[in-house]
C-alpha cells in the first residue's frame, strides 16, 4: 500500500547527487592542510555561502517533515516558529552577538565561554553539546533509514550504513568546508525539489482562497474529519490566522498555547537559545571571511527563512483542505499499519454477514489496532453488500476509514500524489540530501567541539597542529560510528529516545540567559554562570516533574498543574528555566569575585568592546540597517496573516 | 576556499535539468500531473538555474584568477 516504485530517471538523479557531494569532498581535500582548515574552514567562505549554509544546517529533513506535520495540525500559526521565533533571534545574533563570537577569535561556542567565564562553563557546555549533537545525528539517520525502508522497501541496515558511508566519504576528505558546501547544494535541492509539489498542491486545492474556505469549515468542526475529539469547535480562522486564535486563549487554538508562552517561551527563550548559542548554526557564521561577512551571514539566512513557511508549512494546510474535499481522493496518511493487519480487517468486513455495523466497526478497529470512523465502515459495508467489492477495494475502504493520522507522513504523501517519475526522484533526493546533510552538520560540529574543547583543552594539550589535524580526521570516523549507534538506539528504544530529548530540552532552555548576561554585563562571574546554568536545568526538570500535559510529565508525584498541550508545557518550561537561570546568575555574580578584569574581557563584553565602525560601508549594507529592514518585513508578514 | 561552489551546483542542476527536460519531452504521458507536463517545465527551469550558476562561476573566475 505504501511502497513507491522508482524508475531509472529517479535513480539517476539520486546517483548524480551522491556523485557530486562525494566529488566536492574529494576536490576540497587538497586544500585541507591545517586543523583550522579542516575543522573551522579557516575563515575563508563567502557570505552568500555561509548564509545559505546557516539556514540549511537548520533545515534538516526533520524540519521539513515536522513543519508540514505542524502545518496540518495547527495551520498558519506554525509560522510563529519562523516569524516570531527565528527571525528576531537571527537578527539579534547578527547585529549584537557575532562581534563577540567572531571578534574573540574563538573557534567554537564553548571556547568563547572559556574566554568569557572559565573552564567549568566551557566543560559543561561542550560535553552537553557533544552528546546532544551525536544524538541529533542519530535521530536524523534513523528517520532516514526508516523512511527508505518503509517507502522504497530498502533494507534498514543497508540504508543506514550506505548513507552514513556517503557522508563519511565527503566529510573525511573536505571537513567543515565539505559540509558547508553540500548544505548549500541541499538548500537549492530542497527549494527546487519541493516548490513544484507546493505549486501542484495549491493548484489541486483550487488556490489560496479556496483552501482558506475549506480550512475555515474544518476549524469549526474538526471532529468531522476525526482531527480532534468530538465536540471541539474553534473559530473559523483557527487554521488560517496566526495571531487571533492565540490571543483568544489556549483553549481556542489547536496548539493549546497562550500568548505569553508563545511570545516569551518560544519567541524569546527557545528561539534565541537555539539561534544564538547552538554551535551547529553559529559555526557556519564563524567560518565567514571577515567580521562584516560574519555579521551578514544570519541576515542573508533570514531572507529565505522568512519565506520558508510557504514552502514547508503550506503543504500541511493543503493536506487538511484536500482531506476535507472528498472528490480529491486524498487523506492525510494513517499511521503505518502492517499488511497482515489490513488483511485481517478486510476479512472482518468480508465475513460481516448479518452482524451489526457497530460490532463490525469494533472488530475492524481491533484488527488494525487503531480507531476507525464508524460512518465510513458503515458505508463500506453497504457498498459491499453481497460481496460486490474486491479485496483491493475493501482494503482501500478500510484505509480511508482509519481515524488516526500520521502527520509526519503528510509531505511524502503529497510527493507521492503529485510527482511523476523524474520529479519524484528530485523530491526524494532532496529529502535524502537534507537527512545526510543533517548528519554531516552534526558530525562536523561535534568534531570541532571534541577536538578543541575537550581533547585539546583537557586530554592532550600542547601538541602540534598536525596532531590535532589527524585527531579531527579520526573524530570524523568516530562521530559517524557514534551516530550510527545512536540511530540504532533510537530505532530500538523510541521511549528512551523521548526521555533523552526531554533532557536535552532541559539543558538548552536556560542557555540564552547565560549568554545574554555574559555578553552584556561585565560583572557576570564564572561561578554565577555555572550555578545559574545548573539552576536553570534543574528548574526545567522540576517543573516538568510536577506538571502534566497530554499525559506526559508529572513524574515527581504531585501534579500541580495541567497544561493544555505538550507544546504549552515546553514553552513554559523554557520561560521558567530562563528566569531561574537569569536570576541565579545575576545574584550569584554579585556575591562572588570577578576572576577576569576589564582588560581580559575586552572584545568579549558589549560595554568593553569598541563599537564596530561600519561607516565605511554604504548605509544599506550595514548590518544594523539590514537588521531593521528585515525586522520590518517580518512584522509585515505577521500582519498579513494576522 | 579553492573551489567555487557555483561550479558543482551549476553542473549538477544543468545535468538534472537536461535529464528532466529530455524525459518530459519524450515521455510526456508519464510526466504529467494535473494536466501539466511538469517534468518538461521544471526541467527547463532547473536547466536555466544551472546555467546561470555556471555563468556566475565563470565570471567569478575571470574576476579573481585562482592563485597557485
Q: Which three cell numbers stand for residue A604?
A: 568579549
Instruction: Report the percentage of chain A scoring pLDDT > 70.
Output: 99
CA distance A289 to chain B (A): 10
The SS3 of residue A635 is helix
pLDDT average, residue stretch A41-47: 85
Subunit contact A420:B11, Cβ cutoff 8 A: no
Nearest-angstrom CA–CA distance, A546 and A526 = 30
Nearest neighbour of B49 by CB, restricted to A28, A192, A420: A192
| A34 part of contact set with chain B, CB < 8 Å | no
Residue B17 has pLDDT above 50, yes or no: yes
Cβ B58 vs Cβ B1: under 8 Å: no
Confidence label for A146 from pLDDT (cuts 50, 70 and 90): confident
| ipTM higher than threshold 0.85 | yes
Quote the pLDDT of residue A307. Answer: 92
Judging contacts by C-beta atoms under 8 Å, the chain B residues touching residue A418 are 33-34
CA distance B14 to chain A (A): 11
Burial class (CB within 10 angstroms; exposed 0-12, middle 13-18, buried 19+) of A104: middle
Compare A284 and A253 and report the one with higher pLDDT. Answer: A284
| A421 part of contact set with chain B, CB < 8 Å | yes
Quote the pLDDT of residue A597. Answer: 84
Quote the pLDDT of residue A614. Answer: 64
Nearest neighbour of A203 by CB, restricted to B1, B2, B34: B34
Within 13 A of A162's CA, how many CA atoms are on the CB side?
Answer: 13
Nearest-angstrom CA–CA distance, A440 and A450 = 15
Confidence label for A1 from pLDDT (cuts 50, 70 and 90): very low
Quote the pLDDT of residue A2. Answer: 62
Characterize the bridge pairing of strands A547-549 and A561-563: parallel
Compare A335 and A198 and report the one with higher pLDDT. Answer: A198
| B32 part of contact set with chain A, CB < 8 Å | yes
Subunit contact A28:B43, Cβ cutoff 8 A: no
Confidence label for B66 from pLDDT (cuts 50, 70 and 90): low
In this structure, how many other beta carbons lie within 10 angstroms of the beta carbon of residue A118?
17
Range of weakest confidence among A120-129, A301-310, A419-428, A542-551 = A542-551
Compare A479 and A501 and report the one with higher pLDDT. Answer: A479
Burial class (CB within 10 angstroms; exposed 0-12, middle 13-18, buried 19+) of A97: buried
| Domain chopping of chain A, boundaries | 8-326+413-492+622-640, 339-404, 495-610
Cβ A447 vs Cβ A41: under 8 Å: no
Q: What kind of architecture, by CATH, is found in domain A8-326+413-492+622-640?
A: Up-down Bundle (1.20)
User: Testing the interface with B: which of A207, A420, A429, A430 to mutate, by most B Cβ within 10 A?
Assistant: A420
Q: CA nearest A175 in B: which residue?
A: B1
Q: What is the mean pLDDT of chain A?
A: 88
Residue A98 has pLDDT above 80, yes or no: yes
Range of weakest confidence among A317-326, A370-379, A557-566, B59-68 = B59-68
pLDDT average, residue stretch A68-90: 89
| A203 part of contact set with chain B, CB < 8 Å | yes
Dihedral angle sign, alpha carbons of residues A514, A515, A517, A519: positive
Quote the pLDDT of residue A353. Answer: 75
CA distance B20 to chain A (A): 6
Q: CA nearest B8 in A: which residue?
A: A20
Q: What is the DSSP string of A204-235?
A: HHT-HHHHHHHHHHHHH-GGGGTSS-TT----
Quote the pLDDT of residue B63. Answer: 64
Quote the pLDDT of residue A622. Answer: 83
| A350 part of contact set with chain B, CB < 8 Å | no
CA distance B59 to chain A (A): 16
CA distance B58 to chain A (A): 16
Cβ A262 vs Cβ A84: under 8 Å: yes
Q: What is the DSSP string of A315-383?
A: HHHHHHHHHT-GGG---PPPPP--HHHHHHHHHHHHT-TTS-HHHHHHHHHHHHTS-B-HHHHHHHHHH
Subunit contact B8:A422, Cβ cutoff 8 A: no
Q: CA nearest B24 in A: which residue?
A: A422
Nearest-angstrom CA–CA distance, A637 and A625 = 19
The reply to whether the predicted model has a pTM over 0.80 is yes
Range of weakest confidence among A130-134, A611-615, B30-34 = A611-615
CA distance B12 to chain A (A): 7
Task: Give CA separation, A457 vs A257, A451, A471, B29, B46, in Å.
Answer: 43, 8, 13, 62, 47
Cα A284–A287–A288 angle (5° rounding)? Answer: 105
Cβ A431 vs Cβ A143: under 8 Å: no
Q: CA nearest A45 in B: which residue?
A: B1
| A41 part of contact set with chain B, CB < 8 Å | yes
CA distance B9 to chain A (A): 6
Compare A24 and A557 and report the one with higher pLDDT. Answer: A24
Nearest neighbour of A422 by CB, restricted to B8, B11, B20: B20
Subunit contact A196:B38, Cβ cutoff 8 A: yes
Quote the pLDDT of residue A399. Answer: 86
* pLDDT tens digits for range A594-617: 888 888 888 888 888 877 776 677
Confidence label for B68 from pLDDT (cuts 50, 70 and 90): very low
| A29 part of contact set with chain B, CB < 8 Å | no
Nearest neighbour of A44 by CB, restricted to B1, B11, B23: B1
* pLDDT tens digits for range A290-305: 898 999 999 999 999 9
Quote the pLDDT of residue B65. Answer: 59
HEC assignment per residue over A396-462? HHHHHHECCCCHHHHHHHHHHHHCCCCHHHHHHHHHHHHHHHHHHHHHHHHHHHHHHHHHHHHHCCC
Residue with cell 454477514: A353
Amino acid at each position: 500500500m505504501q511502497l513507491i516504485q522508482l524508475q531509472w530517471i529517479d535513480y539517476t538523479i539520486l546517483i548524480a547527487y551522491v556523485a557530486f557531494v562525494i566529488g566536492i569532498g574529494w576536490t576540497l581535500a587538497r586544500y585541507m592542510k591545517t586543523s583550522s582548515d579542516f575543522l573551522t574552514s579557516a575563515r575563508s567562505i563567502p557570505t552568500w555561502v555561509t548564509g545559505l549554509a546557516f539556514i540549511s544546517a537548520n533545515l534538516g529533513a526533520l524540519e521539513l517533515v515536522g513543519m508540514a506535520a505542524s502545518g496540518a495540525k495547527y495551520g498558519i500559526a506554525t509560522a510563529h516558529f519562523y516569524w516570531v521565533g527565528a527571525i528576531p533571534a537571527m537578527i539579534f545574533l547578527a547585529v549584537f552577538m557575532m562581534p563577540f563570537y567572531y571578534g574573540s577569535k574563538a573557534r567554537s561556542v564553548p571556547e568563547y565561554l572559556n574566554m568569557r567565564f572559565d573552564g567549568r562553563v566551557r566543560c559543561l557546555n561542550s560535553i552537553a553539546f557533544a552528546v546532544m549533537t551525536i544524538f541529533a545525528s542519530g535521530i536524523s539517520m534513523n528517520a532516514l533509514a526508516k523512511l527508505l525502508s518503509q517507502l522504497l522497501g530498502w533494507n534498514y541496515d543497508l540504508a543506514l550504513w550506505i548513507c552514513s558511508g556517503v557522508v563519511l566519504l565527503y566529510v573525511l576528505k573536505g571537513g567543515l568546508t565539505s559540509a558547508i558546501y553540500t548544505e548549500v547544494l541541499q538548500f537549492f535541492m530542497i527549494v527546487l525539489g519541493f516548490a513544484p509539489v507546493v505549486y501542484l498542491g495549491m493548484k489541486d486545492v483550487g488556490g489560496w482562497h479556496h483552501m482558506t474556505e475549506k480550512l475555515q469549515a474544518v476549524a469549526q468542526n474538526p471532529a468531522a474529519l476525526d482531527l480532534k475529539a468530538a465536540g471541539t469547535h474553534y473559530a473559523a480562522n483557527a487554521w488560517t490566522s496566526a495571531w487571533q486564535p492565540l490571543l483568544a486563549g489556549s483553549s481556542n487554538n489547536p496548539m493549546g498555547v497562550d500568548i505569553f508562552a508563545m511570545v516569551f517561551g518560544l519567541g524569546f527563550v527557545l528561539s534565541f537559545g537555539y539561534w544564538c548559542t547552538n554551535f551547529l548554526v553559529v559555526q557556519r557564521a564563524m567560518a565567514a571571511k571577515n567580521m562584516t561577512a560574519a555579521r551578514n551571514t544570519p541576515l542573508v539566512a533570514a531572507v529565505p527563512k522568512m519565506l520558508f513557511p510557504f514552502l514547508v508549512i503550506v503543504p500541511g494546510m493543503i493536506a487538511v483542505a484536500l482531506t476535507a474535499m472528498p472528490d480529491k481522493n486524498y487523506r492525510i496518511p494513517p499511521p503505518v499499519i502492517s499488511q497482515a493487519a489490513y488483511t485481517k480487517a478486510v476479512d472482518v468486513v468480508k465475513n460481516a454477514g448479518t452482524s451489526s455495523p457497530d460490532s463490525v466497526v469494533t472488530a475492524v478497529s481491533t484488527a488494525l489496532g487503531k480507531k476507525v470512523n464508524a460512518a465510513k465502515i458503515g458505508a463500506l459495508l453497504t457498498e459491499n453488500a453481497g460481496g460486490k467489492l474486491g479485496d483491493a477495494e475493501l482494503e482501500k475502504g478500510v484505509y480511508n476509514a482509519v481515524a488516526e493520522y500520521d502527520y509526519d507522513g503528510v509531505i511524502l504523501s503529497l510527493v507521492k500524489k503529485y510527482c511523476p517519475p523524474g520529479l519524484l526522484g528530485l523530491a526524494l533526493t532532496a529529502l535524502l540530501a537534507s537527512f545526510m546533510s543533517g548528519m554531516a552538520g552534526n558530525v562536523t560540529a561535534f568534531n570541532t567541539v571534541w577536538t578543541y574543547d575537550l581533547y585539546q583543552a583537557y586530554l592532550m594539550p600542547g601538541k602540534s597542529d598536525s596532531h590535532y589535524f589527524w585527531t579531527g580526521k579520526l573524530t570524523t570516523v568516530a562521530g559517524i560510528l557514534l551516530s550510527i549507534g545512536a540511530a540504532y538506539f533510537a530505532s530500538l528504544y523510541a521511549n528512551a529516545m523521548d526521555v533523552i530529548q526531554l533532557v536535552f530540552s532541559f539543558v538548552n532552555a536556560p542557555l540564552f540567559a547565560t549568554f545574554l548576561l555574559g555578553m552584556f554585563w561585565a560583572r557576570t562571574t564564572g561561578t554565577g554562570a555555572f550555578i545559574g546554568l545548573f539552576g536553570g536545568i534543574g528548574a526545567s526538570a522540576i517543573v516538568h516533574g510536577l506538571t502534566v500535559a497530554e499525559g506526559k510529565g508529572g513524574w515527581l508525584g504531585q501534579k500541580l498543574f495541567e497544561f493544555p498541550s505538550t507544546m504549552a508545557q515546553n514553552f513554559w518550561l523554557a520561560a521558567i528555566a530562563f528566569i531561574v537561570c537569569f536570576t541565579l546568575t545575576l545574584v550569584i555574580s554579585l556575591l562572588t569575585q570577578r576572576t577576569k578584569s576589564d582588560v581580559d574581557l575586552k572584545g568579549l563584553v558589549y560595554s568593553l568592546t569598541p563599537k564596530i565602525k561600519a561607516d565605511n560601508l554604504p548605509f544599506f549594507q550595514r548590518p544594523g540597517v539590514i537588521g531593521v529592514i528585515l525586522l520590518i518585513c517580518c512584522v509585515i508578514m505577521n500582519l498579513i496573516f494576522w | 576556499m579553492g573551489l567555487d561552489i557555483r561550479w558543482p551546483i551549476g553542473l549538477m542542476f544543468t545535468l538534472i535539468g537536461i535529464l528532466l527536460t529530455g524525459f518530459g519531452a519524450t515521455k510526456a504521458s508519464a510526466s504529467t500531473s494535473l494536466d501539466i507536463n511538469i517534468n518538461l517545465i521544471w526541467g527547463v527551469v532547473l536547466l536555466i538555474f544551472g546555467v546561470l550558476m555556471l555563468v556566475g562561476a565563470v565570471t567569478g573566475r575571470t574576476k579573481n584568477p585562482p592563485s597557485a
